[in-house]
Structure 1
């Protein structure tokens, strides 16, 4: 009986020790998880070469807010966002877009979006210049149907995002 109680106690401690409260799970430091210096330098070179003026984020991404939107902004990454967006490569090729709008849980998106979308409010617009580490990294991203590469690994990405709504 003592072994059973001891075993149950250990299991209880293990399982409750791994649980996060909502506050812990939703707490997100946008300056944690920085892009490597070499990727930031490559992004800065792209911006300079193309005479693009943008603001540097503490993570290494760059952004340009064209409309800040409402004063109320997403509070944490556990909420949902409803956005219109387009994603392009630096050669101008669009790899994804949704102009009618789509909903996502903010915490399930790429790091760059987690960091940049909370900078704007409802109906705000932002252009995000993304180093690979804060986007899709070094792996090629393929179209699920055709298996053709739509985002080559280590790509700098450009997203134009309108934050339609959030909760």
Structure 2
């Protein structure tokens, strides 16, 4: 009985300390391993990208235009954006104008999009741990469109958020 009470207490303390938004999405505070951060840095160096900054999570980014307005999207925000997603070999795996709830997407976008405001333009270099990790992403026919452990590059314009 004592172990059960202790276990419940630890559970409650752990979950009460997690920062959670009102829509049910939590800040995960995921940090990419040093090896992945180095792989992104090596890619940037080999591509002569000298203006990218590194976030504490290991995400690299270039803000081309910070946008205008006040505030930035949060995890509960509906974001409307135009983007191109590609792999480091230049293969474009997706290109669209779309809308989604920020908290419902990959960690790299959750951490990168709040760096800009409406009308902003950003380029994100996302290590695998902040994207799809060791999982292949496949299309409806079973073909791999994003191989496991891929660094993703997103060129994004934030059209709007609310």
Q: How many residues align?
A: 146
Shift of 1:33: 0.8
Alpha carbons of 1:75 and 1:164: their partners in 2 closer, same or farther (altered >3 Å)? closer
Alignment of 1:7-18 (within 5 A): none
Please, which runs of 5 or more residues in structure 1 have no aligned partner?
1-13
Q: Which moved more, 1:71-80 or 1:85-94?
A: 71-80
Q: Match for 2:159 among 145, 150, 164? A: 164
Shift of 1:21: 7.6
Residue matched to 1:7: none
Residue 43 of structure 2 is aligned to residue 46 of structure 1:
yes
For residues 58 and 45 of structure 2, the distance between their equivalents in structure 1, rounded to whole angstroms, comes to 15
Residue matched to 1:63: 61
- TM-score of the superposed pair, with normalisation by structure 2: 0.83
For residues 107 and 80 of structure 1, the distance between their equivalents in structure 2, rounded to whole angstroms, comes to 9
- TM-score of the superposed pair, with normalisation by structure 1: 0.80
Assess if the C-alpha contact under 8 Å between 1:88 and 1:96 holds in 2. yes
Q: Deviations over 1:69-116 (max 9, x none)?
A: 014233420110000001000000000110xx2110000010000001
Of structures 1 and 2, the larger Rg is shown by 1
For residues 45 and 117 of structure 1, the distance between their equivalents in structure 2, rounded to whole angstroms, comes to 23
Q: Match for 2:74 among 73, 76, 80? A: 76
Moved over 6 A (4+): none
Shift of 1:25: 3.7
